[in-house]
Structure 1
Amino acid sequence: MKSQQKGIHIFDARFGKIAALKKDGVIKAKSIRYARSERFQKPVPIERSTSDILYPDKTPVCPQKLSPLVEKMIGRTPVEEFEAEEATQYLSITRPENITENENLPVLVWIHGGSHEIGCGDLTTADPTEWVKEQHIIVVTVSYRLGLFGFLGGDEKRPANLGLFDMIEALKWIKANIADFGGDPENITLLGQSSGGDAIAHLMISEGVDDLFKRVIIQSAPLGLRHKRKKMSAEFLKKTEEIKDETDVLKMMDEYDKFVPSFMKFGLKAAMPFGTQYGFPPLCTEEESVEKWQENAKKYDVLIGLNNDETAFYLKTSDALNKYFGKGLGLKIMDKTVEKTTEFIYGAPARKFAEDYAKAGGNVYLFRIHSQLKENPIGAPHCIDLPLIFGNEAAWKSSEMLKNIPWERIHENGKKLRALWAEFARTGKISDQSERPEILKIQKIHF
């Protein structure tokens, strides 16, 4: 590895010479293409480059529509810094600036959330700089195809699970190349939140992933919505047939809303119309899934959990609902609805997953994040774990979700949480002696 002028670092890797940014105590190799794809085709891995690999001026992102709720609760998306691209197979690597020559750092691979239809690996709200410096680890952030391009399929022309196939190619790239960046290819942990956690749970039972990772951290995975999605997906696929060949991807994004399955017809799962699809490669059938997780229980260490008030992110932030349920008896009804829906979508499925896994001999921890702030009316909602894990106060300054929470509290609890998650990534264990943040309840599941 050779350093060039200040601010630039060149990795002389087997994959090629990769230019990286050196800033704030870390080195970041941005937007490395790990595969390519044609529309609705499986990804093809990239071969070694004979020319220098330079990071693009704008961050590639899968075509998508902005979510008004995400813009309000998390913060504005800097669209001017992104460029829409269908074949969004890119990853970025963040490692400490100073490591010893033969050091093998634990590697965490971030699989972002966003209902399988929005987001990318390189959002500022998930910039791992603070975590990398504090814990002396490597974090790889992965972008993959979303929505119509990655998580809706079911026939020969439009295969299902292309987003999962992208992730598998990314993991193969990481396994083969991460040693050139100071990472340990034998100690790779997958970390995912929301739909990213759902994807990781299903990567655990996918074909073609043997020896690609050792541990998983699954945060706020909506596993309660994974059941009996086949009819909904088939109807959605059929409805979108008329826009599948649209060449203007932004027009395609504008139009697909009218084809989204009816919430009334399909229930809560229609709130996440895109998703992993059982019965299509690389997955087994839904009926086989629990048995597959149990078969693999001794392969992967698992840390799984949720936030105490997940659905408050959607329910308590609705102006329409708050008009009727914002105070008095209405607020009590709202609180009960948040409690019940959080348990149905996130809580009960996480506990069942952990208990089944432990029963099969797996090493598994179950956690729950609480708020404990009376002046914070939405409690610990969906996505509250993101500023805790990634920090980066500047990126969260416009977040409605954090407006009643002092950043010092986020930082204090987040630093302890980051230390615990890094301990798990290093060892597969969390010691009883390790300091816990006051917002966290965590237990090892025994059977």
Structure 2
Amino acid sequence: MTPTQKETTVFETRFGRIIALKEEGIIRAKNIRYAHSERFQKPVAIEASLASVIISPEKTPVCPQALSPLVEKMIGATPVESFEPDESTQYLSITRPETVAENEKLPVIVWIHGGSHEIGCGDLATANPAEWVKEQHIIVVSVSYRLGLFGFLGGDEKRPANLGLLDIIEALKWIKTNIADFSGDENNITLLGQSSGGDAIAHLMISEGVENLFQRVIIQSAPLGLRHKRQKMSAEFLKKTEALKDETDVLKMVEDYKIVVPSVIKYGLKAAMPFGTQYGYFPLCKEDESVEMWKKNAQKFDVLIGLNNDETAFYLKTSEALNKYFGKGLGLKLMDKTVEKTTALIYGNPAKQFAQNLAEAGGNVYLFRIHSKLKDNHIGASHCIDLPLIFGNESAWKSSELLKDIPWSRIHENGKKLRALWAEFARTGKIADTSEKPEILELQKI
């Protein structure tokens, strides 16, 4: 359905006349192109044009990708008919309350989606911020950027590294320049990222060219334990996908690179995420300089970082092959121990160390952990359980196996409190001791 068939409003902005949709108490300007790129080239910002009229495309643009059966099982089926592959995937969507007082400036939260730097996009129903926007009177900007071969694998002149990171920086520049025209506070911008989105945000904190683009970060379930010593793996992966760089069929391109992935398994656990941010290439420093760079920048950003208590549980406990041998008795105890150890290795210990490093350097840092607290929840608080808590939207999660043992009333009750805390942090950079906290949340100021 096109915007002209729904109730619309027009934002007169310095970027152009932007047509947005009114939907049940919120206004949404969807899929605004903030930059453009040729394949394996740096993004080029779209120039403002007061005379232009910007209408969102009928289908949501998405970076070419292969569907993940595991993610489909965890979160639910993707309605592929509503998406359009576009390898120049520099789009953002703005969701704000319908009613805003004159001259009011709302805190801005920028959503950077996860998906192993390989799948996903900014505009998925499972990350629809409408409920949060209405409850907390905030603005949420959802960003799409290049992924996989197009955005997070490089290392030579023909295929530069970190293009997806550069896309996000262009989006932040656009937001800084234009969000005031949507009643957003351009000097109160918080980045929110989950999984690889959180990894991207952590690295944006030490990127060149981000001065004054954001003030706070919320990093959820970032796999920071996989960030170390990836150079050899990335170089080999780059070399083995060389033959794909000029492929005209983008869907064939993303199917064919999977043939190469098993060859990098020898690099261990990090091979579970073969795409990623790459040290030593613009806009990032060398890996051995990264910790000092985070410490150097510690006082520039308020930080809220954490994880779910049983991050790897869904991957391990819903595997039919593993359950055959480890589904009960001593096997289940071994499985639980494996979940505990891998969660600590990939997510928990790195998040704690990250928080401590920043706090020791004078940073304002909070560390959190989300628990299940349900005795009959076999999976516990697994990877992605934070998404329905933050975004709500019950209908989008109906087919999710992740939530099959959890009543939605429990998600909503805890989620509403969590959304209030995260919004409090986005407004002030602090979470008061007196603020109501959900029972599933463990939170400490470092």
Give the shorter-chain TM-score range: over 0.9
2:212 aligns with: 211
Deviations 1:95-154 (A, max 9, x none): 000001100000000000000000000000000000000000000000000000000000
SS at match of 2:111: strand
Q: What displacement does 1:253 show?
A: 1.2
Q: What displacement does 1:254 show?
A: 1.3
- The residue type paired with residue 153 of structure 1 is G
Q: What displacement does 1:5 show?
A: 9.6
Asked if structure 2 preserves the Cα contact closer than 8 Å seen for 1:307 and 1:382, the reply is yes
1:31 aligns with: 31
What TM-score, normalized by structure 1, do the two folds share? 0.98
2:292 aligns with: 291
2:421 aligns with: 420
Asked if structure 2 preserves the Cα contact closer than 8 Å seen for 1:262 and 1:270, the reply is no
Asked if structure 2 preserves the Cα contact closer than 8 Å seen for 1:309 and 1:378, the reply is yes
Matches within 5 A, 1:253-264: 253-260=254-261, 262=263, 264=265
Matches within 5 A, 1:42-57: 42-49=42-49, 50-57=51-58
Q: What displacement does 1:261 show?
A: 5.0
Asked if structure 2 preserves the Cα contact closer than 8 Å seen for 1:106 and 1:187, the reply is yes
Q: What displacement does 1:262 show?
A: 3.5
- The residue type paired with residue 331 of structure 1 is L
1:244 aligns with: 245
Deviations 1:342-389 (A, max 9, x none): 000000000000001000000000000000111110000000000000
Matches within 5 A, 1:79-94: 79-94=80-95
Moved over 6 A (4+): none
Asked if structure 2 preserves the Cα contact closer than 8 Å seen for 1:194 and 1:221, the reply is yes
- The residue type paired with residue 287 of structure 1 is D
Matches within 5 A, 1:433-444: 433-444=434-445
1:382 aligns with: 383
1:73 aligns with: 74
- The residue type paired with residue 18 of structure 1 is I
The CA RMSD over aligned residues, in Å, is: 1.1
Q: What displacement does 1:8 show?
A: 0.4
Count of residues paired in the alignment: 443
Alpha carbons of 1:340 and 1:51: their partners in 2 closer, same or farther (altered >3 Å)? same
Q: Does 1:226 align with 2:227?
A: yes
- The residue type paired with residue 200 of structure 1 is I
Q: What displacement does 1:264 show?
A: 4.2
- The residue type paired with residue 138 of structure 1 is I
Asked if structure 2 preserves the Cα contact closer than 8 Å seen for 1:263 and 1:271, the reply is no
Q: What displacement does 1:179 show?
A: 0.1
Asked if structure 1 preserves the Cα contact closer than 8 Å seen for 2:390 and 2:419, the reply is yes
1:270 aligns with: 271
- The residue type paired with residue 144 of structure 1 is Y
Q: What displacement does 1:24 show?
A: 1.1
SS at match of 1:298: helix
Partners of 2:5 and 2:26 lie apart in 1 by 15
Asked if structure 1 preserves the Cα contact closer than 8 Å seen for 2:6 and 2:21, the reply is no
- The residue type paired with residue 46 of structure 2 is I
Partners of 2:172 and 2:314 lie apart in 1 by 31
Q: What displacement does 1:51 show?
A: 2.1
Deviations 1:64-104 (A, max 9, x none): 00000111110000000000000000000000000011000
Partners of 2:369 and 2:386 lie apart in 1 by 10
Partners of 1:204 and 1:285 lie apart in 2 by 14
Q: What displacement does 1:193 show?
A: 0.1
Asked if structure 2 preserves the Cα contact closer than 8 Å seen for 1:152 and 1:161, the reply is yes
Asked if structure 2 preserves the Cα contact closer than 8 Å seen for 1:236 and 1:261, the reply is no
SS at match of 1:387: helix
Structure 2's unaligned 5+ residue stretches are none
SS at match of 2:28: strand
1:196 aligns with: 197
Asked if structure 1 preserves the Cα contact closer than 8 Å seen for 2:237 and 2:264, the reply is no
- The residue type paired with residue 178 of structure 1 is I
Asked if structure 2 preserves the Cα contact closer than 8 Å seen for 1:232 and 1:261, the reply is no
Q: What displacement does 1:6 show?
A: 6.8
SS at match of 1:94: strand
Partners of 1:292 and 1:114 lie apart in 2 by 26
SS at match of 2:54: coil
Partners of 1:254 and 1:208 lie apart in 2 by 34
2:357 aligns with: 356
Deviations 1:172-212 (A, max 9, x none): 00000000000000000000000000000000000000000
Partners of 1:309 and 1:231 lie apart in 2 by 30
2:98 aligns with: 97
Asked if structure 2 preserves the Cα contact closer than 8 Å seen for 1:198 and 1:223, the reply is yes
Partners of 1:231 and 1:203 lie apart in 2 by 23
2:399 aligns with: 398
- The residue type paired with residue 93 of structure 1 is I
The worse-fitting range, judged by mean Cα deviation, of 116-125 and 310-319 is 310-319
Partners of 1:421 and 1:262 lie apart in 2 by 41
Asked if structure 1 preserves the Cα contact closer than 8 Å seen for 2:233 and 2:264, the reply is no
Partners of 1:266 and 1:404 lie apart in 2 by 36
Q: What displacement does 1:7 show?
A: 1.4
2:330 aligns with: 329
2:283 aligns with: 282
What TM-score, normalized by structure 2, do the two folds share? 0.98
Partners of 1:22 and 1:101 lie apart in 2 by 18
- The residue type paired with residue 181 of structure 1 is F
2:22 aligns with: 22
1:341 aligns with: 342
The worse-fitting range, judged by mean Cα deviation, of 310-319 and 257-266 is 257-266
- The residue type paired with residue 8 of structure 2 is I
Partners of 1:288 and 1:75 lie apart in 2 by 40
Amino-acid identity (%): 79
